[in-house]
Structure 1
Amino acid sequence: MEQLINYLLQFGHFNQQQIELIRSKFTSKTIKKDEYYHEAGKVVREVIFLTEGIMRVCYYSNKGDEVTKYFFEENCFIADMNSLDLGIPAVEYIQAVTDCTYLVISKSGLEELSMTIIGWDQIVAKITFKGMADKVNRISPMMVDDAKERYLKFLDSFPVLANRVPLSYLASYLGITQSSLSRIRRKITEK
């Protein structure tokens, strides 16, 4: 729970009573490697804060290929905000890449914090903006770089993550085949 509180304190200030209220709204849960936290077609009714492990957001292309869109490491909020806010089915899956521990808060819990803590909505807006900026920064290089450059930038930006996710997920995220990724990795290590 301290990870969550420390993360939130980067975006605003809370008194002890507010911190206790925040703690009371979150519950700790675990999920095993390869299990789906959320599936496409279902409405999101909660937000999670990942405290340990890696999750990924993925979808299936119109050809039936599984595509990894994002990876999330510790100290990240994860939610499909369109589904949560609008009550519409999500279009993506969220899967545990490793065994994970996370904190969860319901939509009604979030609404109660919004009505009780002055400035809560501004803090949520700052966190949401940071999450959107992070996504853009991850996706933009993917549009213009070749496969080797995308992999090298991934290694530079996420040095630990590259060794924590299966090659198939990483290749999918980079938009290349697993065999191409293996060739790129081999060429880099030969130098």
Structure 2
Amino acid sequence: METLLNLLDSFGEIPNTSKQKLASLVNSKKFKKKEIIAKAGEIPENVYILKSGLVRSYFTDDKGKEYIRNFITKHRAAGALGSLILNKPSRFSYDCLSDCEVYFLNFKAFKKLAKEDKSIAYLYASVLEQIFLRLEAKVYDLSLLNGTERYLKLKKEIPDIENLTPLYHIASYLNITAVQLSRIRKEIYSK
């Protein structure tokens, strides 16, 4: 729990009384590789913060093809946030690519606490800002960086990504084909 509280401090100073209120809502859980945290079509209840492991979020089209939206790493939020905010079924599924340990809390209880405690409301706003900035950066990357540049950026963020997930997942995340990824990797590693 101390790890989570230290992480929260990175968003700004939070009074101890507010931290204690928030800590009372937080639980932890372990998931095995391939376990699902949140499933498309369902309305989730919880938001998760990874203590360890790797999670992917993905969309599955009508033909069963998966599109990786994101890889979620240590100290990042996982879960269908849009679905939680709108209280509608999620369009995305979230599953563990490795054994994971997470902190989780009921989103409605968290929102209620944010309405009652100004420090928690500021924390919530700061977290949403960080999520927005990450999404904006991904849109920028997809718009302006080529496949090789996106791959190198991903490798910088998650150096051992190839050991954690199949290459076709990486290609999907980069919005390129598996063949393109193979060519990129061959070019990079042959130098």
**Considering the TM-score relative to the shorter chain, is it more than 0.5?**
yes
For the residues of structure 2 that align with 1:158 and 1:15, how far apart are their CA atoms? 33
| Aligned residues with identical type, % of pairs | 28
Match of 1:6 in 2: 6
Listed as ranges, the gaps of 5+ residues in structure 2 are: none
Match of 1:42 in 2: 42
Q: How does 1:74-153 map to 2 (within 5 A)?
A: 74-153=74-153
Match of 1:69 in 2: 69
Counterpart secondary structure, 1:129: helix
Deviation at 1:74, TM superposition (A): 0.4
CA-to-aligned-CA distance 1:100-132 (integer Å, 9 cap, x gap): 000110123203422443321121011111111
1:29 and 1:101 in contact (8 A); partners too? yes
For the residues of structure 1 that align with 2:6 and 2:154, how far apart are their CA atoms? 27
Compared CA separation, residues 111 and 144, structure 1 to 2 (3 A): closer
Deviation at 1:6, TM superposition (A): 1.0
1:3 and 1:75 in contact (8 A); partners too? no
Compared CA separation, residues 41 and 55, structure 1 to 2 (3 A): same
- What's the TM-score once normalised by structure 1's chain length? 0.89
Counterpart secondary structure, 2:50: strand
For the residues of structure 2 that align with 1:88 and 1:47, how far apart are their CA atoms? 14
Deviation at 1:35, TM superposition (A): 1.6
Deviation at 1:177, TM superposition (A): 2.6
**Aligned-residue CA RMSD in angstroms?**
1.9
Deviation at 1:22, TM superposition (A): 1.9
Match of 1:164 in 2: 164
Aligned residue pair count: 191
